[in-house]
Chains A and B, each alone.
Chain A
């Protein structure tokens, strides 16, 4: 009886899911086809064949492996430095009452309103100015990583500050009484306690960096060896016609790591990490 009552619920849920992931099913089934620049009519919802030619093509004939490597390096480094710098600065804002704190934090918040779009030219000029060579950090992975960490800093500080401010004051007072400073508090108390939200930040950062297109295109687009996956996928689009099966195959390959990452960590980090603080504040 109880099971029977759940049946309509399950049917609704399944239908919703199928509608929801139709674009992905469509992408998967079309990645097995061969279009030769002409789209099939009617469109194929189910594949007419199972063939991995398109996958083979993008894996062997394109720069996908190289781009995947770049994406991994850039994404990991960005997440690491983002977590480091933003948790430091969130601690500063949350736990130390220094002069100018409120004003500075308001400025951070205000920058979140601005569309970051046109900033690309001044940002580019800044990156160019770092280092000794003519092009500076343009076209290099450290350049893009620095840009990602820098542009995300205000929002990420805001995110973590909420969590850290919510932790009880007594914690660090105990450390201070024991003769420890802020340094000890940060590493011994704050980091472990804020770990769920920090992990959440890390995962969101991994995802955001992995899919970012515009800055990656502008900063790295001139150096074939350093391009990332989204840039590589977009470059598969031809000037006159497109081999959709290649785009779809490459897109699916590019998605797999993120799906695995999310499936593995969603409950532990994403949901509970968000539940910790800022969402509720």
Chain B
């Protein structure tokens, strides 16, 4: 490396910088409308929340009194360990629902993709839960998992199929209620993952399958050797989305259990809602928001490390 090339590189870099600086003008026409909206509706509220999380916020008077780490300390030392229960449930939700969503999404996508006719019908059926409002599916699930005989599940499992010895109070017990929350999450999201996989399948050329059939590979081998590896990046996309989604679970809990009994079915977003809107602890609510953000950040970084490096670059 001679001095001359160094100087050349430096000059090059300066020129580039100048060009990039000049480019701000034309870029601003495109970027600015979005940026203004993002600042107003996303960034400003974000900084507002960070500040509130370190304060006692009196909402009517709009007083913001700095209290340091008080909100965080209060959350971590609270009786009943509500924060930890909520975190546990978020993690469980991610661990339990994501594999099912990926597995069934892929399965349905492959099934639907192999259809010569009726594709529209099946796709729409599997996608139905995705396009149905949470308010609606929440109501339906609450009704289906009603305690006692009025609930469809109890009726089917005990009276019709005889699988249960007694009616189950699904939504009133910690683990059955969590199960219903997971079920709803899985059911609502499978269609989404199916669509993403369908899109991924469009990119796989038919030649590969034809070649392998000539070599005598059966359907299963084809799936494991061709389809699945080629959909790796799609799987990663679904995985990241579902895991981040797991930290934003709210409406299931809000409509099905309200975190009962004793916060054991609660999740972070529900706890946030409860703190802010029922108990008027806005500072603690904001602190929960911050804690969630950190958890999501850490989880995403870990996922990237673990899954991206595993089989080389997933792209």
Binding site for B on A (CB under 8 A): 9, 13, 16-17, 20-21, 23-24, 26-27, 30, 39-43, 45, 85-86, 88-89, 91-93, 96-101, 104, 107-108, 111-119, 121-123, 126, 146-147, 149-151, 153-154, 157, 181-183, 186, 207, 210-211, 213-214, 229-230, 233-234, 237, 244, 247-248, 251, 254-255, 258-259, 262-263, 266-267, 270-275, 279-281
Bound Cα distance from A113 to B300, whole angstroms: 9
B24 touches A (CB below 8 Å):
yes
In contact, A213 and B135 (Cβ under 8 angstroms): yes
Is the CB of B144 closer than 8 A to any CB of chain A? Answer: yes
User: Which B residues lie within 8 Å of A150 (CB)?
Assistant: 37-38, 40-42
Kindly identify which residue among A42, A98, A153 contacts B42, using a CB–CB cutoff of 8 Å.
Answer: A153
Instruction: With both chains docked as a complex, state the minimum distance between the C-beta of A264 and any C-beta of chain B, in angstroms.
Output: 9
The answer to whether A115 and B124 have CB atoms under 8 Å apart is: no
The residue of chain A having its C-beta at the shortest distance from the C-beta of B59 within the complex is A121
Which candidate, B78-86, B93-101, B285-293, B302-310, is the interface stretch facing chain A?
B285-293
Docked pose: A271 CA to B192 CA in angstroms:
11
Instruction: Please count how many residues in chain B sit with their CB below 8 Å of the partner chain's CB atoms.
Output: 93
Chain B residues near A91 (CB-CB < 8 A): 30
B203, A151: Cβ atoms under 8 Å? no
Known: A114-B293, A207-B131. A272 touches B124 (CB 8 A): no
Known: A117-B250, A280-B203. A122 touches B24 (CB 8 A): no
CB neighbours of A254 from chain B (8 A): 133, 136
Docked complex Cα distance between A150 and B39 (Å)? 9
Q: Do B125 and A98 touch across chains, with their CB atoms under 8 A apart?
A: no
Whole-angstrom CA separation of A98 from B24 in the bound complex: 5
Instruction: Give A19's nearest chain B residue, CB to CB.
Output: B187
Shortest B159–chain A CB gap in Å is 6
Question: 19 new A-B pairs (CB below 8 Å) besides A26-B140, A41-B150, A213-B251?
Answer: A13-B111, A24-B140, A26-B143, A39-B146, A43-B152, A88-B29, A89-B34, A92-B30, A111-B46, A113-B300, A115-B247, A119-B48, A150-B38, A182-B29, A213-B133, A262-B127, A267-B120, A272-B202, A279-B200
Name the A residues within 8 Å of B45 (CB-CB).
118-119, 121-123, 126
A-B contact pairs, 26 of them (CB 8 A): A20-B187, A23-B141, A24-B132, A39-B146, A41-B148, A42-B150, A88-B31, A96-B27, A98-B24, A113-B293, A115-B247, A115-B296, A118-B282, A118-B289, A147-B41, A213-B251, A237-B139, A247-B139, A251-B132, A251-B135, A255-B133, A266-B127, A272-B199, A274-B195, A279-B233, A279-B234
> Would you call B75 an interface residue if the criterion is a C-beta within 8 Å of the partner chain's C-beta atoms?
no
State whether the Cβ of B161 lies closer than 8 Å to any Cβ in chain A. Answer: no
Q: Which residues of A have CB within 8 Å of B38?
A: 108, 111, 150, 153-154
Give the distance to chain A from B256, nearest Cβ to Cβ, in Å.
13
Q: A147-B41, A275-B202 are in contact. Are A85 and B297 (CB under 8 A)?
A: no
Q: Which residues in A have their C-beta under 8 angstroms from that of B273?
A: 117
Residues of A within 8 Å of B128, CB to CB, are 20-21, 24, 259
Give B223 Cβ to nearest chain A Cβ, in Å: 14
Interface contact tally, CB-CB below 8 A: 274
With A111-B42, A115-B293, A126-B40 known as contacts, the answer to whether A181 contacts B126 (CB < 8 A) is no
Closest to A263 in B: B124
Given A104-B35, A108-B38, is A211 in contact with B21 using a C-beta cutoff of 8 Å?
Answer: no
Q: Is the CB of B126 within 8 A of A118?
A: no
Does B23 contact A98, Cβ atoms closer than 8 Å? Answer: yes
Say whether B149 contacts A41, CB under 8 Å.
yes
**B91 interface contact, C-beta 8 A:** no
Min distance, Cβ A185 to any Cβ of chain B, angstroms: 10
Q: Is the Cβ of B195 less than 8 Å from the Cβ of A89?
A: no
The answer for the CA separation of A101 and B30 in the assembled complex, in Å, is 12
Known contacts A123-B41, A149-B37, A154-B42; A96 and B202 CB within 8 A of each other: no
Structural contact, A230 and B135, CB atoms closer than 8 A: yes
- Provide the residues of chain A in CB contact with B202, threshold 8 Å: 271-272, 275
Q: Considering the chains assembled together, what is the distance between the CA atoms of A30 and B202 in angstroms?
A: 39
Pick the contact of B46: A100, A119, A237 (CB < 8 A): A119
How close is B201's CB to chain A, nearest CB, in angstroms?
8
The minimal Cβ–Cβ distance linking A80 to chain B, given in whole angstroms, is: 13
B296 & A113 in contact (Cβ 8 Å cutoff): yes
CB distance from A216 to the nearest CB of B (A): 10
